Structure 1
Amino acid sequence: MNYRFQNLLGAPYRGGNTVITSNTTLISPISNRISLTNLLKSHSQTLPFQSSSNISRIAISPCGTFLLTVDNNNRAHFVNLPRRIVLHRITFNKGSVKFVKFSPDGRFIAVGLGKLVQIWRSPGFEKRFSAFELVRTFAGCNGDVTCVDWCPESRYLLVGSKDLTVRLFSMRKGEKTGGKTEKKDRAFMFLGHRDVIVGAFFGVDKSTKKVNHVYSLSRDGAVFGWSFSKNEEPGTPEQESEENRNVKKRKTLEEDGSAGLLDDVKWELVKKDFFMQAPAKLTACDYHKGLELLVVGFSSGVFGLYQMPDFVCIHLLSISREKITTATFNELGNWLTFGCAKLGQLLVWEWKSESYILKQQGHYFDVNTIAYSPDSQLLATGADDNKIKVWTVSSGFCFVTFSEHTNAVTALHFMANNHCLLSASLDGTVRAWDLFRYRNFRTFTTPSSRQFVSLASDQSGEVICAGTLDSFEIFVWSMKTGRLLDVLSGHEGPVHGLMFSPTTAILASSSWDRTVRLWDVFDGKGSVETFSHTHDVLTVVYRPDGKQLASSTLDGQIHFWDPIDGVLMYTIEGRRDIAGGRLMTDRRTAANSSSGKCFTTLSYSADGNYILAGGSSKYICMYDVADQVLLRRFQITLNLSLDGVLDVLNSKNMTDAGPMNLIDDDDSDVEDGVDKQTRLKSSYDLPGAVTNRGRPIVRTKCLRIAPTGRSWSAATTEGVLVYSMDENFIFDPTDLDIDVTPEAVEAALGEDQPSRALILSLRLNEDALIKRCIVAVPPVDIRPVVASVPFKYLNRLIQAFAELLENCPHLEFILRWCQELSKSHGHSIQENSRNLLPALKSLQKAITRLHQDLADTCSSNEYLLRYLCSTSSKA
């Protein structure tokens, strides 16, 4: 029940700008969420809060504490990054936000809002009724603002816009000084560009650290360099006096940059350079003032690194097939970050060593299927882009991608040995992948081409079965030889669900012909049992002990069968539970449109006590199997950029031509953002399914609970959502009494009563106290302490061992606990293995991971270990 959102996989980057804070943490938007990637530890995590729509711009404060995010609806979140909570919210109403940036001193935030630039005072930590205070508004641009840059003293701004100009604004003008208000002069304009301005940056002199030049870049690949004019022609006395005043101003500027006279000197164009990448357009750029380096990205996927002001090309490389949508430096200037929104690519490149620090790419289309490895450390995803990706769940990183399939991947299955992955695809092949050598070592095919949509393997791994979409048959192959052994016929519709019993060799299959069939594959008896339904059956799953079978139908019901006696045990009516969310094209309200809602994917928990169900809805439902009651509903997203999230639509958005959000705007400039991908109706959609050709529809395609039971994942329109338990924040005592207190545990430890202290901490069920009591037991007392623990506390004790093995350095000490636990309670554990299975799986996962780490360490230091052993024996 205590699952919380942990991470979002499958889509490392989908648009917007990126920033790097503290030189090690990469912050990037993922749809309506924010992802943090530690580049040193190779660990990725998604922040728990959501925006109302896709995030378009982000900005980080100079101190790295505050993050400002702005979505497509101009709604901004002011976030405390260390605490990872939203402090303030604000909506900008004057236009579309194209750029946000903190001032170098952190006091102000510049917001490019349509044709205006608004200066807001940064809220900080103080508590105020109105956190955001509008300080200044700069107008004058004849086109939307595209870029903003602050001078180091936070007194001037460079603003580029679509009107082909760059303007210099002063923060000092219009402010009260000495009781008087200074005259509000017009902004200085840098003219000459022939295309939209992409970037404008202040240049700083290395010796004086003062601004002495400006760079402006346009979309046609032109770079203009601007500087102060230093020579004036003699003229009339009035002109000479004006010249003297200008000279004094320039001297004041050069001597004291804080005086701020950049708008009172005369600027002139001193240099023009061109990147010569036509017909490609310049789409992203950044300038590092300390190193005087300029990085640019183009619509062709090429990026360039140039040393300024000499315009010397250091690197010019192609990193993608699509346009680069973001290019930024880190604070030191040694790392370059590139993002390609259309392909979901996110790269961090060290330009000095010419090596990748980070290289991640998400799925181009929706994820169809996911599968956990038996030890719960790996998660495989298959999508409509014909690719299979394998992710490390703990780090959130993809470490291998298989792209041999030529059509959508529809099913995945991990073999019991944890090192082999099976995949089925619409291209007519079932492939086996070696996760040691990262290669396709076996391909299973049929005499005539078929489209596979389901996949299963028996517990021994000897037999592979796959269900088809077009011929309604089930094909059976030998894993060792790759030969086709049998073809199971009998279904009269697509076979969308396949699963072997965990305890026997019986295969269960579900089909759109309204039946679930059981097959004896090894004896060759064909179908041995048929369970009839009143509607099309969408999927079927076995309970982990093999004594129950669950199937979902098109009318939104979940049926539970006894596979041994062949009787219907009970039914859950889930149509009302999954109902919610109205499509733009719906003619009825969300409350009256539940007839089209159904569960397309099911997954039992590790102990079989509850079941997760998801489908064509924004909700994922968790049911108690024994009582057939709804325990909890998880809403997978709040993103209004997707269809089916709102329950009530706004009638103002309806026009004579249809919903306003679905009307194509032929005059829109595709260079401003990512082209919207129209989702077409695929051949394996549900019968009668309605698709939206304008916006993606929120739904869940696949659900899987990890074998440890501590986490589960869902393949949704947003990506792969990972939910996990974290009991450090949960107070859930088992046998709470007036005498069971933290003070009592401390007293027992002080009186040298480790057994009593451990039992009290288990009754209190506080994670920190349990671990402290375990570590406080002397090694010689482990056996009697373990023997004194009642059986009802073993589940919690095993979970504590698994968590300690992940972080505790006392490896041998904890393994000895596990050994004594097996000796003292082995018989009880065996009899109640079903209830203890999630905890035992977590312990197995931790031990397996430690074994792999130690094996790698020992193999890389083999000769050193031999030397140490030989020297110790001689001594």
Structure 2
Amino acid sequence: MLSGKRLPSKAVLTAFVRACGQSDPALWQEAWERVSVAEDRAHASRSTPTRRQRSVARPAHVIGEPLTGHTDVVRAVAFHPHGHLLATGSTDHTVRLWDPSTGHLIGEPLIGHTDAVYGVAFHPDGHLLATAGSDRTVRLWDPATGQPIGEPLTGHTDGVTGVAFHPYGHQLATTSSDRTVRLWDPATGQPIGEPLTDHTQPVRAVAFHPDGHLIAAASRDGTVRLWDPSTGKPIGEPLTGHTDAVYGVAFHPDGHQLVTGSFDGTVRLWDVATRDPFGAPITGHTSAVLGVAFHPDGHQLAIGSFDGTLRLRDATTGQPIGESFTGHTDAVTALAFHPDGHLIATTSVDKTVRLWKLASYEQGPQLLQQRLQTQVAQLRRLRHSQIKVYRERNALASQVQDLASKIATAEAHQMHASRVQISWAVIGGPITGHADGAYGVAFHPHGHLLASTSEDQTVRLWDPSTAEPIGEPLTGHNAGVIAVAFHPDGHLIATASYDRTVRLWDVATRDPFGAPITGHTSAVEGVAFHPDGRLLATAGEDKTVRLWDPTTRQPVGNSLTGHTESVRALAFHPDGRLLATASEDRTVRLWDLVTRQPVGDPLTGHTGVVYGVAFHPDGHLLATTGSDRTVRLWDAATRQPIGAPLTGHTQSVTALTFHPDGHLLATTGSDGTVRMWDPVTRQPVGAPLVGHNIDAYSIAFHPDGHLLATASEDRTVRLYGQLWNPKAV
């Protein structure tokens, strides 16, 4: 099986090629597909194709009938980040939502614009849809309900032609025929800074760099300009080379290239660092290029043209991939890739939307063998692959079944022979800077920042790769800061304090995000964001749990009451349906976030204060820690304890966290140690890690799982890293 961290041996792959090599190519292809299917059933989850595998995808074939409903030219298209919605904007003044899996319309059209809709874009977490109109406004919508959010964003003095969200979601960029680019705060609807005014003709399209540090805008003046969105300053000279208006612009997923499409019928690639052209212009369309987009893996480029066709190109060589795709009866105006890359959506002057499905090239066995051999290192990193056993009626069925068995056996032997034991160790010296005990620690979702909080009333940001501070401490609380959490999209930090407030901070600027959140009548002990970022939960010494809208900073519903002592910690279930809270009353409670009612009776078993609570990443387990020196595991569905408590800490266990892939549980406590546990066997993994000499209060894994951080009363933050020790079993 091509899964996990091991591959079938070269001998097994060679056997596969020999078995199939003499077959008819069509039968060979079918045989290989069956082996893939057979592999898929033996494992629980599907692996993501490697970059190289995806790059051999061939042009799409159209799926079903055109999507109809708009009554005029369809100008814009975007997929929801989760892929389950497609939004389109039209000259008929409406925005429509579609189910891309069925092609069916979802709900009624979104009506509000009084003129053509030229741009649509989803917020990175999917909770907002922004639309740009020729009526000079930008509108925000809730895609779940189809309802407008707030008043239209006004400021442009001519039609708004394009819209894009910052990758972190805290900024919105728009382009206009008034020759400007504007930045907005989507939370408040207010403009950010002055308009960007260097273009000499209408600006047609805009895109953010994947890390958010650049904006690219394309204009009818034939140029593309780059700006720094944090300062509003232009970066270098405009990109010139097109001989007519530029209508399309997009960044490569890794940010090193920019692609532009023009009315001159060409597509150009640019080196973002040098701003120089990358190779010769890409030609082939017989008319203006209106839309360009990179495949999510960056290996293909899709181009839509006024000539009514869609073409795919190799993003490295610029060479065509297959023939052009026809289906629209008029100009293709816009296009977008599905987030997983298997679909392309196109819009047209013909008033329709079309979906195209990418398919795989039929490869010969020799080519596939070569390709697999070059992928070994990459495929070893893949953790999951589904193996399905499935019988077809043809001459190769039994051979394929036997081959799948051989592959599985070979991999099992290989995994046994080279099993890796992972151990952890303190890395580097303590991270110092706080002037009093460090209470909270959290990693940014992208892993490039580490935040810590302290009794010294500050929040500090650190570079976890260097352990160096980033900027000045965040100040504003007037008492010790107990807890910290990052918004799921990384643009906000929430902090909780003894001063009875919660504060939000803009990660990019490190400025406070609005006024403090008030409502608790005593110290705020814990803070957590809902997985979709729409809610913020806080735990109070006042025995309550409160929910807030992080955008408006207003309470959402009434407080959750039921605990009889201080609430010390809380955690959202990964699917967002439940909230777990831990209290000094020795109980853990689960809450239904729809009804705001407790789910069943409290979880009892701890004989002292419950300090920590966390859900396993797949949601089936709940783990808790307490002053009784134990860690307890619970079945999240039945709320029953699983096995005996985990013991080993010699003092209170104050905090815990699951590894992102769920195979480890890490705990820390007043004994200053970190302990690792296997949540399946409930056994300790390795020896305790000693990094602090007194109480540790908080613990967090890096998003990719290779680092662990703790915060302690000794005023320091410590980092722990993996050590890989190959041992034959």
TM-score of the alignment, normalized to the shorter chain, above 0.5: no
Larger radius of gyration: 1
- TM-score, length-scaled by structure 1: 0.32
- TM-score, length-scaled by structure 2: 0.38
Greater helix fraction, Structure 1 or Structure 2: 1
